Amino acid sequence: MTGMEAQDADLKKELDATLRARKELGEEYEPALVDSFLEKVDQRIDAAVERRLRRQLAEQQMHVARGARSPRGTDSWGERFGFAIVSLVLAIPLSAIGGGIGHLPGLIAAWIGIVGVNVVQAVRVNPELFAGRRSDRSREL
């Protein structure tokens, strides 16, 4: 039996004990019994969350210690290519809707949105994309 199954079994026993106590003590003690049971459930949840947070913190510290790349650097060429393909595929119906409803201004608005999404994605993947241009301008001034 794993740790999670053992905790579930313990919680089931607690619930059974609470229900038996309610039968023996009567309805007037029900709020106190429910509060007691919920406090135990709350403690279990807190303990599980704390374990997860400690594990995530330890994993982050290991990544930092090993000099792992940041999540931004994990984007692969395939993911970028896939994003471009999806963007172009979605451009077809967006162009049709924009052009059909708004004519030329609608078509232009649709393509501004498409290009905007792709620029944001490009900058997210490669933040230094426009950094070189900014530094060149600052040298000229």
- How far apart CA 140 and CA 16 sit, in angstroms, is 77
pLDDT over 90, % of the chain: 11
Q: What is the mean pLDDT of residues 42-54?
A: 88
In the chain, how many domains are there?
Answer: 2
Q: Give the end of a domain, one of 49, 66, 83.
A: 66
Name the residue range of residue 108's domain. Answer: 72-140
**Predicted TM-score (pTM) of this structure:** 0.41
pLDDT digits (tens, 9 = 90+) for 115-134: 998 888 888 877 777 776 55
Are 62 and 8 found together in one domain?
yes
Q: 42, 66, 90: which is the final residue of a domain?
A: 66
> What end-to-end distance do the CA atoms of the chain give, in Å?
70
What is Dmax (Cα atoms) for the chain? 86
Q: How far apart are CA 16 and CA 99, in angstroms?
A: 65
Say whether pLDDT at 140 is over 60: no
Q: Taking 60 as the threshold, does the pLDDT of residue 73 lie above it? A: no
Higher pLDDT, 131 or 97: 97
Q: How do residues 17-35 score in pLDDT, each as one tens digit?
A: 888 888 888 888 888 888 8
